[in-house]
Structure 1
Amino acid sequence: METVPPAIPQSWSNAALGQLFADTSVARWVELPWICVMGETSSGKSTVLSQLSGIELPTDHTLTTKIPTLIQLRHDAVCQAHIQLIPWNHHSRIHNNNQHSDIGEEQHHHKVILTEEQWHEIPLQIRHAQELVTENGDATIRTDWWVSVSIQGPHVSHPFTLVDLPGLLQNSPEHPDIPQQVQALWKSIQHERSILLAVHPSTSDFHNAAVWASSSSSDFITIPVLTKPDLIDPGAESAVVNLLKGQHPLPLKGFHLIKGRGQAALDQSIEQALREEERFFQQQEPWKSITDTTCLGTIHLREKLSRMQLDLWRKTLPSIVQEIRRKRVEASRVMEQYRPIQDRRRYFQEQSQSLVAKLQASIQGRSSYSAGARLHQACTEYADSIRQGSLYTVRSVVEGAHVLVTTPRGVVPGGVVHIDKHFCCVDFIHEDHSSSEALFDRVGIPIQDHKVEVDDVWLEGLKVYIAREGGVCDSLKKIPFHCVRTDPSWLKEKIAATRTDELACFLNVDIFKAVVADFVEADWRPPCDKLLQITEDVARKAVSESIQSTLDERYPLLQSLLERHCRAVVRSLMDHAREQVDMHLAAEKQPYTLDLLLLENIAEARHRSLRRELEIAFRLDQEGGVYDTQAIQAIMDDVFERQKHKTIEDHTAEEMEIILESYGKIATRRVLDRSPMICWEVLRSLIPAIQESFWSVSEEELIECTQDQEDTRTKYIAAREEFEEMEKALRIFESL
């Protein structure tokens, strides 16, 4: 657990802080206490910066600061100036995404070191650095590159960190977007660790100045600085005096007044200008009469800024160090992510093993996408579809099925229109039975206050009704299930379509095989095909998500290579699975079984309908059944007489239905298990097959697929640079 560093002790000096800025570029990533100088063009901003820093800065009547300039002052025995371009990625809110770091090698490596004898070249070198990243004559503001100016020497008494921001143009017909760019930059650079130096000429209207509006937030330390007091119209000095004394309605307080060199005195040195400024405030009215002289002149402003910057460091140091530590950890993570690969084969094996582990977790249901759970659900849906097929339900009484209702007087055909737990209701099919007592309790009942359509079925109390034309309905009889069986007449057409010249009184095996084959294709093939497709989709998605979660965007060619191998494996496994399912279904089209239960079921089912018809005719399901011998004989004669009137097709269809039902129960059990087993074998074989496929990847393929892109190299270098700067900054803090 990281400890919070202590606040800066009083023994710390600004020189120590200057070391941090001079020896590191940590300010590119972490918001450090600095002094931002902002103002409109021709406000005297460059003069204020020059007199505060003690170095000459570029100045003329046009927009000169096209990119921000970071000025770092440090006390040192050696006098040197370092001027260079630095890429600036300090928080995305500063970086302008519409601009690109499209400069060449010269700009990337541009760095100039000047000795004291070359001091006069500083403004020229600053301007040259700006021009390297801006086209000649282009006034566009750039924020993705900054000019860094590091000044060290024994003459530096106040080691400030200053940021020179582009000046604001109120009216720019040639570049109408410049004011918005500058204001956006001003806003982005302001943070709770910055001191804002808002510069404005005392000769202009300062009540509505744009620089005040951009810097008057109470969240920041703002020092309003007035310039050009020597150009104030005689008699107008009192307004400025009131500002210095705090006697004004403006929200800003603590105004400071600076006198810089005019155009006629630009040949003066900065030291001469500071002496002239001191004489001016000591000798000129009304300035010499101001009691609090700390609000006048550059020297006092330096001391004030030095003290405020040190206080700000003491206040924000704990959070700064914590942020640096966080940045170091993040940079280390990015470095590790984009570190150049030394052993490609080992890297490939590590990535492959990670992919396989995640794929295994997906199959076993231990990841966000559970391939095993999805296939299990698909198998459950598959089983439901198979059980609803005709071979499994060939003699099941379901709603909509054509059935035969057995009565004491014979059999009545009809269609099931309602099913309850203990009974069903059957509507007539032939008009001859439209009033049958076997199907209806009452017919032709007027419908009152009930909006229904023809053939609608509804319950009212204990009765079930069906609507007819003409505003009437029929009351349906509640028929016990043991009095209802399926009508095998539908099989007559199939038998007739495949009938051979063999003796018609025997059930032909070819006819049975043809019917079973039709059922296999119509009822089993679609669920099997659907299950196979779902299995393929599940395998593909499990592989795809495992690859996506394993590999990053660093090596897109490697990701494509793995995807190709995995797709080929899935395709091969699925081709084999489809062949197995096809073979299984083809075998099921050739009915065969040694299951003795089949023969028992057939034997029992053959006499079931006749037995039931006799029981109903004898009224054995009711109290007071028939026990008279003559009556029994008459009933039996009647029942068997009806059996004699059945056609060969009727008997064949009944026999076919019985055998289909018995065989269907057995065959369905096989298909319920076989296809899911084949599909599960695909998932079980997936990992070893993929591993075997990965072993075939050649060294040439690995070399081709693991070449770092320029963007990756850039990210690694940037992360390494950031990490090193964070390390360096932490060492400085620890040493202090």
Structure 2
Amino acid sequence: MVQPALHDDAASTLLPRAETRRLVDRLRAFGLDKHVDLPQIAVMGDTSSGKSSVLSALSGIAFPSAGELTTRCPTQLILSHAHTLHGTVRLRRFQSTAAPATVTTITTLDQVTSAIEALTTQLLAEGQSISDDAIEITLQGPSFPDLTLTDLPGLVRTVRDGEDPRMIPRVRQLVKRYLAQERTIILAVVPANVSMHNSEILQAAAEADPTGARTLSIITKPDLVDVGAEAGVVELLLNKTKQRRLGYHMVKCRGQHALNTGVSIADARRDEAAYFASHDVWRTIDRSLLGTQNLALKLSALLTDTIEAALPAVAAELDSQIRDCKHRLAELGAPLDTPEARRRSFSNVARTVTSRLGMALDGSYNDLSFFDNDEVGADNRLRAQLRAFESEFSSAVADHATVTTSMADDAARSVAVGDYVHVRAADGSWTLDQVTRLHERPNEVLTTSQPTHWLTYSLDWRHLPRLNLDAIKTLMVANRGDELPLFLSYTTFANIVRQQYVRQWHAPMHSLYGSYARSLKVLLGRAIASSTSVGALQRHLTSVATDLMTSLGRAMEETLDEALAMEARPYTMNTDVAAGFHRQRSMPLLSALDALADESDDGRVSIGAVKAVVQLHCMTHESLDDLQARDLLWALQAYLHVAAKRFSDKIPMLLQARFLVPFMTELRHQLATTEATDAILERLLRDGNATARTELAAKLRALEQAKAEIHAVV
């Protein structure tokens, strides 16, 4: 059952102080501290700063303590007040996938010391000179305060003979991980006889907590301060120098001599009280700043206050991480440990890939995540790309179907009296006129409209324009077969169409197919990558689709060549060809006659002028080759106009019908049958997400258990 998120005022519902602390201990027992920073007190210090002695004084437990490094891993001490002594010790592995730890039951404090030594020996045997695993000591008893502390290995600068030098940076890395946690109270332990400016732990704490809002400095070994040098320590205790919001506290725990002579923890506490009460300087200090007993009370209250302040944020973080876990688990999908699960997973992937390919080909860009992506969404709109390629193809075919013409250069052509020519009028236009006289100078004439003013060729007059048919005549002569010179031969026409025009459509046709194939291949890769397929499955999908494209591509190229070969035999039932031919034949003559009529104010024209125009357009003075060449020109223009449009439509239609549609049909079929057998899927769908899924599921359980625990008590 989904529980509501905690509101920000959750901490205002006050729990009993001890219960507040126990709540966080239970959350930590669920493993929540691996995912959410929980309020805690971490004891840190340089080697032999007296950390273990402080813990012993607070708990009554004799921690392994000597002049050398003793703590090899975080040691979490969970103390609760109870009528009888009982508890457990276990090794809590940092990696959640590790096997469950053996729990040692505790009935005496001596057993705690032995258990710590045994677990430390185990870590060393595993090759862990410094470990992220934690020794968790949970104790209830009549002499314990309600307090949870985590002791960290001491910072070291050198190692002893035979010790791993890598432990130096490992300790720093471990301590830094705790320092960085915003909900961790830093209990920085420093000896009184060491300059605070040279303390590595105080420097590290200042970097992580510049304002000192969560740093409480514990001053140990006050008996080692030289007589007369106490003033500097007093300034620290009173928080006058190196000020921190949580300030400082001083304790005097068992030193090495006391340990060697067997002084008990209880006797050490009494010695501490007597020492502070009798010392000339320390007895003048506020009692709340001195002694183990006051430190225990201070830490218990500080931890509880920190927990109460942090609970709303912890609860909000729980909600956020629960949502994230569920989302990530959904992305990983169901486990692939059965044929049914593998078939279901493969079907989902295949459906995603083919659906996106199909939409891209149809131009139905409804999948916003695939087609409206800012980076590649537009590039996935395949139909739009294909239309652009088809437009380029159509333009290329049209360019290669254009029969170019030019006007003949008649500068060297002679003129005779009685010939009709064009004369430039006063407004700059050209009008039809008849030559009446020739000058001795070449190319100067008089005309009917200009009987006295000699006209100069090109400037004042020109021959009637006629087509330059040299190129078309050359083609006609080169492609003639067995024919009569009276009419245009189909064989000649077909040869010219095939050799000069249709053959040039081959390159743009295959270029269009290449653009289709390349774009489809790119889109295929993106569609596969956008699915949940990875590794072997992704490679398999790519291989199946690529092989299919290659197979269809070979057949497609043959089909295209066949389509081009059909165009090599000119044929059409389209009447636009005949209409175009007749239009080419008649329109120039009709236009010339209309222009002749427009030159007359009363609409009457000279029969001679009409005769000249008709003779020009009927080419009565030209050879049969000229006549055939002109008809061939008009026939080519009329036919190629129709054939080019037909070909420009036919090739994209063939690519759609013989390449794209079969590709999608066969791909869907193969991904549902031959490429989706249980044997293939078992090989492809090995659950590479099993570990991640297990870890996420464990994390989700811890988060949901923690959330339920908070709601149960708040």
Instruction: Name the TM tier (shorter chain).
Output: 0.7 to 0.9
On the 8 A contact 1:495/1:511 being kept in 2, the answer is: yes
Q: Which residue of 2 aligns with 1:328?
A: 322
Q: Contact 1:58 / 1:64 at 8 angstroms: preserved in 2?
A: yes
Question: 2:634 — aligned with what?
Answer: 658
Aligned residue among 562, 577, 589 for 1:598: 577
Q: 1:703 aligns with which of 678, 682, 687?
A: 682
Matched AA of 2:38: L
* Alignment CA distance shift 1:347-1:389 (3 Å): closer
Q: Does 1:722 align with 2:712?
A: no
- Residue 660 and residue 436 in structure 1: after superposition, are their counterparts in 2 closer, same or farther (change >3 A)? farther
> Structure 1's 25 and 8: CA in aligned 2 closer, same or farther, altered over 3 A?
farther
- Residue 443 of structure 1 aligns with which residue? none
- Structure 1 position 270, deviation (Å): 3.4
Write the mapping of 1:95-244 to structure 2, written as runs, cut at 5 A: 108-117=99-108, 118-131=111-124, 134-135=127-128, 145-155=132-142, 157-170=144-157, 182-183=171-172, 185-189=174-178, 190-216=180-206, 217-218=210-211, 220-244=213-237
- TM superposition shift of 1:330: 2.5
Q: How does 1:52-451 map to 2 (within 5 A)?
A: 52-74=58-80, 79-87=86-94, 108-117=99-108, 118-131=111-124, 134-135=127-128, 145-155=132-142, 157-170=144-157, 182-183=171-172, 185-189=174-178, 190-216=180-206, 217-218=210-211, 220-248=213-241, 250=243, 254-266=247-259, 267-290=262-285, 292-336=286-330, 337=332, 339-341=334-336, 342=338, 343=340, 344-363=342-361, 364-367=364-367, 368=371, 369=377, 373-389=381-397, 394-395=402-403, 402-404=406-408
Q: Tell me how far apart the structure 2 counterparts of residues 69 and 654 of structure 1 sit (CA, whole Å).
A: 105
**Contact kept in structure 2, 1:33 and 1:309, CA below 8 Å:** yes
Corresponding residue for residue 713 of structure 1 = 690
How far, CA to CA, are the matches of 1:620 and 1:179 in structure 2? Answer: 111
Match of 2:37 among 7, 31, 37: 31
Return closer, same or farther for 1:498/1:635 CA change in 2, 3 Å cut-off.
closer
Q: 1:32 to 1:500 in 2, by over 3 A?
A: same
Q: Which amino acid aligns with 2:350?
A: S
* Separation of aligned partners in 2, 1:168 and 1:227: 16
Query: Larger deviation: 714-723 or 40-49?
Result: 40-49
How far, CA to CA, are the matches of 2:443 and 2:290 in structure 1?
118
Match of 1:587 among 562, 566, 572: 566
Identity level (%)? 24
Give the C-alpha shift of residue 199 in structure 1. 1.5
Is contact 1:81-1:114 (8 Å) kept? Answer: yes
Consecutive unaligned residues of structure 1, counting only runs of 5 or more, are: 90-104, 412-422, 424-434, 438-475, 478-482
The equivalent position to 2:46 in structure 1, one of 18, 40, 56, is: 40
Classify 1:676/1:32 alpha carbon distance in 2 versus 1 (closer, same or farther; 3 Å): same
2:513 maps to 1:525 = no
Out of 530-539 and 571-580, give the one that drifted further: 571-580
Give a deviation string over 1:638-677, Cα, whole Å, max 9, x none: 73797534572x4443322211111112112212221222
SS of the residue 1:246 aligns to: coil
Match of 1:689 among 666, 691, 699: 666
Contact 1:392 1:664 (8 Å CA) reproduced: no
Distance between the aligned counterparts of 1:631 and 1:485, measured in 2? 19
The 1:272–1:410 alpha-carbon spacing in structure 2 relative to 1, beyond 3 Å, is farther
Q: Which residue of 2 aligns with 1:21?
A: 25
- Return closer, same or farther for 1:253/1:699 CA change in 2, 3 Å cut-off: closer
What is the alpha-carbon distance in structure 2 between the residues aligned to residue 600 and residue 641 of structure 1? 19
Q: Does the residue aligned with 1:672 lie in a helix, a strand or coil?
A: helix
Q: Could you tell me how far apart the structure 2 residues matched to 1:383 and 1:277 are?
A: 95
- For these two proteins, the number of residue pairs brought into alignment is 638
User: Quick one: distance in 2 between partners of 1:410 and 1:359?
Assistant: 70
Q: In 2 relative to 1, CA 403–133 (structure 1 residues): closer, same or farther, beyond 3 Å?
A: farther
Q: Distance in 2 between matches of 1:715 and 1:640?
A: 87
Equivalent position SS for 2:196: coil
Mapped partners of 1:690, 1:305: distance in 2:
69
1 CA distance for matches of 2:655 and 2:443?
52
Cα 1:679/1:133, change in 2 over 3 Å:
farther
1:535 aligns to 2:526 (yes or no): no
Normalising to structure 1: TM-score of the pair?
0.76
C-alpha offsets along residues 49-104 of structure 1, whole Å, 9 cap, x if unaligned?
33334434444444444544444445566722332142259xxxxxxxxxxxxxxx
How far 1:522 sits from its partner (Å)? Answer: 5.0
State whether structure 2 residue 479 is matched by structure 1 residue 498. yes
1:151 Cα shift? Answer: 1.5
Q: CA deviation at 1:202?
A: 0.9
Matched, 1:50 2:50: no
Give, in whole Å, the separation in 2 of the partners of 1:371 and 1:576. Answer: 27
Distance 1:334 1:155 in 2: 47
Indicate if the aligned counterparts of 1:83 and 1:125 stay in contact, CA closer than 8 A: no
* Residues in 1 aligned to 2:542 and 2:496: alpha-carbon distance in whole angstroms: 45
Distance change (3 Å), C-alpha of 1:530 and 1:156: farther
On the 8 A contact 1:615/1:621 being kept in 2, the answer is yes
Counterparts of 1:9 and 1:666, CA distance in 2: 87
Cα separation, 2, equivalents of 1:389 and 1:356: 33
1:7 aligns with 2:25: no
Q: Per the alignment, in what secondary structure is the counterpart of residue 11 of structure 2?
A: coil
Query: Residue deviations 1:159-199, cap 9 Å, x none?
Result: 43333334333567999987666555544433332211112
Give the direction of change, closer, same or farther, for the CA distance of 1:335–1:379 in structure 2 (3 Å limit): closer
Contact 1:193 1:316 in 2 (8 A): yes
Structure 1 residues 690-722: Cα deviation after superposition (integer angstroms, max 9, x where no partner): 22111222111111122223xx32212211221
Quote the residue 1:463 is aligned against. none
Bigger mean CA deviation after superposition, 355-364 or 671-680: 355-364
SS of equivalent residue, structure 2 residue 236: helix
CA deviations on 1:611-652 (whole Å, 9 max, x unpaired) are 556777xx556466996647427735973797534572x444
Q: Distance in 1 between matches of 2:295 and 2:350?
A: 64
- Which secondary structure does the structure 2 equivalent of 1:169 belong to? coil
Report the Cα distance in structure 1 between the residues aligned to 2:20 and 2:245, rounded to whole angstroms.
31
1:319-338 deviation digits (Å, cap 9, x = unpaired): 11121122223233344425
Asked if residue 678 in structure 1 is aligned to residue 654 in structure 2, the reply is: yes
Q: Distance in 2 between matches of 1:387 and 1:486?
A: 26
Q: Distance in 2 between matches of 1:345 and 1:151?
A: 49
Residue aligned with 1:7, SS: helix
Question: Which amino acid in the other structure matches residue 693 of structure 1?
Answer: Q
Runs of 5+ consecutive residues of structure 2 not aligned to the other structure: 372-376, 416-428, 430-441, 445-457
One-letter code aligned to 2:276: F
Matched, 1:565 2:544: yes
Check whether the contact 1:83–1:149 (CA below 8 A) recurs between aligned residues: yes
Aligned counterparts of 2:76 and 2:475: Cα–Cα separation in 1: 93
Aligned positions of 1:639-654 closer than 5 A: 639=616, 644-646=621-623, 648=625, 650-654=626-630
What root-mean-square deviation, in Å, do the aligned CA atoms of Structure 1 and Structure 2 show?
3.9
Find the residue that maps to 2:522 and give its secondary structure: helix
User: Displacement, 1:125?
Assistant: 3.0
Give a deviation string over 1:290-343, Cα, whole Å, max 9, x none.
2x1111122211111111111111111111112112222323334442542342
Please state whether the residue corresponding to 1:214 is helix, strand or coil: helix
Q: Which residue matches 1:465?
A: none
Amino acid corresponding to residue 226 of structure 2 in structure 1: D
Give the direction of change, closer, same or farther, for the CA distance of 1:321–1:607 in structure 2 (3 Å limit). Answer: same
